[in-house]
Amino acid sequence: MIADSETQAGVSRKPSLFSSLPQVAGDEIFALSHAYIADNHPQKVSLGIGVYRTNEGKPWPLPSVRKAEEQLLAENDITRHEYLAIEGDVKFLDLARDLMFGFEDKNESPAQQQAKQRIASVQTVSGTGANHVGALFLAMYLKPKTIWLSNPSWANHTAIWDLAGVPRKTYPYYNAATRSFDFEGAMRTLEEEAQEGDAILLHACAHNPTGLDPTKEQWKAIADLCERKGIFPFFDSAYQGFASGSLEEDAWAVRYFFNEKPGMEMCVAQSFSKNCGLYGQRVGAFHLVTNGESPDLRERAVKNLCHIIRGEYSMAPRHGSEIVKKILTNEQLKAEWIQDLDVMSSRIKKMRKALYDELVRLGTPGTWEHIVKQNGMFSYTGLTPQQVLAMKEKYHIYLLKSGRASVSGLTEKNVEYVARAIDDVVRNVA
C-alpha cells in the first residue's frame, strides 16, 4: 500500500541495490520449448529440447518405469518420503556405478572388488547436478587452469564451468565441410595447447549437439593423449542405452578409459533422465575415479563431495532413484527396461532414415547422409540460423539456432512436412 501511494505520488526512491543486474539471455533450449507450447499452429513440430516422444508425438512413460512405480506404491513403505543420506541412496549408487563401469554383480573377483574401491560415488540432481558438483569439486581440489570443451558442446556445460570459476577453452569438434567429427583438429589443439592438470569434457556417447561420436580407435587415441599429457577426463554420460540401444556399447569409452588406463584418474557425470524417461525426477550420480592410492581415499572423496552437496541442496531427490533401483534390482524389470531402450533408440534411427529418404526423394540440394550417420537424440542438420528462423516463422518447426534437431520430435505423420520445410529453406533462404 505504502509503496503504491509513494509511486502514485511520484516520491523518488533510492535506486535498487540490484539496478545493475545484467540482462541474461534465457536458456535457448527451454525458451524454445515454451514458444512451441504457446504456438497454436496445427502443424507445429518440436525438434528443440532433447526428450523422447512417441510416433504420436506424445511423452512416453516407460512401461518398465510404470511397473516399478506400481510396485513401489503397493509396497507402501512408510519411509519412502524420508531423507536420503547426503551422499544419496547407497544401493542405488552401487547399481548406477555397476551399470556405468560394467561390473557384474555375481561371482565378484578380488580384482573387481579392488576396481570398485577406486570409485567414489554420490547421488546428484540428474546429469546437470552431476556436472555441477563435479565441476565444483575439481575447481576446489584439482584446480585445473583450463576446462576443455568441445566446439560445439551442450550449452549448459559453459554455464556450469563458469559458475565453478574454471576458465574454458574449446577444442575443434565439428568439421562443417565434411559434417563429421574433426578428430585431427581436436588432437592437434589438445596436443599443442593443453597443459598438465587441465580437464577435458568428453561426451560418453551421442555427442550433444552434433550426434557425432569418436570411433573406438579415436577414443583410444584420446585416452592415450589424456594419459600422456596428464589431462583429467570428465565424462558426461547422459544417453547410456538410449543412443544405440545397448548399455555396453554406449558405455564403451568410459569403460575403456577405466579398464585400460588404471593409473589415470577421471570422473563421470551420469544421468537417468533420458534412458529411463525420468526427466523431471532428476536422477543421477557423480563418480570420481581415483587411482586407489590409499584405502581411505575413496571415503575422503565421498566426504568432500558430501560437503559440497550439503551446502548446496542437502541431498538429491528420492523418488526417481527408488524407481531406478527397483528396475535394476529386478531381473524381469531390467529385461523390460532394456526392451524399452530398444523401442526408443530404434524409433529414433527409423526417423533419421525417414527424414533422409524424404530429402533425397525431394532432391533437396546438399548431402544428407550425416542425418543417418549421426548417433543418438540429435542431428546437427547443417541448417543456418536464418534457415532455422524461417523453419519456425513459416512452418512452426522449432529447432536450435545451431541447426540441432531433436530427432525424436519426428513422427511418421510429420516427417514429410518437416522434409518439405527443410527443402524450401535450403533452396530459398540464404
Least separation, in Å, of the C-beta of 394 and ligand LMR?
23
The three-state secondary structure class of 243 is coil
How many residues of this chain interact with ligand LMR, rule: CB under 6 A? 6
Least separation, in Å, of the C-beta of 210 and ligand LMR?
12
Q: Does the active-site annotation cover 236?
A: yes
* Residue 39 burial class via C-beta count within 10 angstroms: exposed 0-12, middle 13-18, buried 19 and up: middle
Least separation, in Å, of the C-beta of 47 and ligand LMR?
10
Residue number, 154 or 235, with CB nearest to ligand LMR: 154
Show the site string, 153-192: x = touches ligand LMR by CB under 6 A, - = not.
Answer: -x-x------------------------------------
Long-range contacts of 160-164 (CB under 8 A, 24+ apart): 160/128, 160/131, 160/132, 160/135, 161/135, 161/201, 163/132, 163/135, 164/132, 164/135, 164/136, 164/138, 164/139
Catalytic residue among 89, 236, 250, 340: 236
Residue number, 154 or 173, with CB nearest to ligand LMR: 154
Residue number, 50 or 211, with CB nearest to ligand LMR: 50
Which is it for the CA torsion 292, 160, 223, 226, positive or negative? negative
Euclidean distance between the first and final Cα of the chain, in Å? 55
Interface with ligand LMR in residues 121-160 (CB under 6 A): 154, 156
Catalytic residue among 274, 325, 326, 392: 274
Asked whether 238 and 376 are in contact (CB, 8 A), the reply is no
Q: Does the active-site annotation cover 60?
A: no
277 binds ligand LMR, rule: CB under 6 A: no
Could you give the angle at which helices 90-101 and 319-329 cross, rounded to 10 degrees?
Answer: 60
29 binds ligand LMR, rule: CB under 6 A: yes
d(CA 13, CA 94): 57
Least separation, in Å, of the C-beta of 156 and ligand LMR?
6
270 binds ligand LMR, rule: CB under 6 A: no
Least separation, in Å, of the C-beta of 203 and ligand LMR?
11
| Site of grid cell 564403451 | 252
Amino acid identity of 66?
R
- Helix-, strand-, coil-residue percentages of the chain, each rounded to 5: 50, 15, 40
362 binds ligand LMR, rule: CB under 6 A: no
Edge-first strand listing for the sheet containing 119-125: 119-125, 283-289, 266-271, 232-237, 199-203, 147-151, 168-172
Least separation, in Å, of the C-beta of 330 and ligand LMR?
28
46 binds ligand LMR, rule: CB under 6 A: no
Residue number, 223 or 391, with CB nearest to ligand LMR: 391
Nearest to 284 by CA among 412, 96, 149: 96
Residue number, 156 or 330, with CB nearest to ligand LMR: 156
- Which residue in the set 208, 244, 375, 408 belongs to the binding site for ligand LMR (CB under 6 A)? 208
50 binds ligand LMR, rule: CB under 6 A: yes
Residues 6+ apart with CB under 8 A from 104: 98, 112
Least separation, in Å, of the C-beta of 151 and ligand LMR?
16
Bridge partners for 120 per DSSP: 288
Residue number, 92 or 154, with CB nearest to ligand LMR: 154
Catalytic residue among 148, 154, 161, 337: 154
| Site of grid cell 544419496 | 88
Q: Does the active-site annotation cover 342?
A: no
Residue number, 148 or 154, with CB nearest to ligand LMR: 154
Least separation, in Å, of the C-beta of 50 and ligand LMR?
3
| Site of grid cell 565441410 | 177
Bridge partners for 288 per DSSP: 120, 267
379 binds ligand LMR, rule: CB under 6 A: no
Asked whether 378 and 210 are in contact (CB, 8 A), the reply is yes
CB atoms within 10 A of CB 366: 13
Q: What is the largest CA-CA distance in the chain?
A: 80
User: Which stretches of the chain bind ligand LMR, using CB under 6 A?
Assistant: 29, 49-50, 154, 156, 208
Give the catalytic positions in this structure. Answer: 154, 236, 274
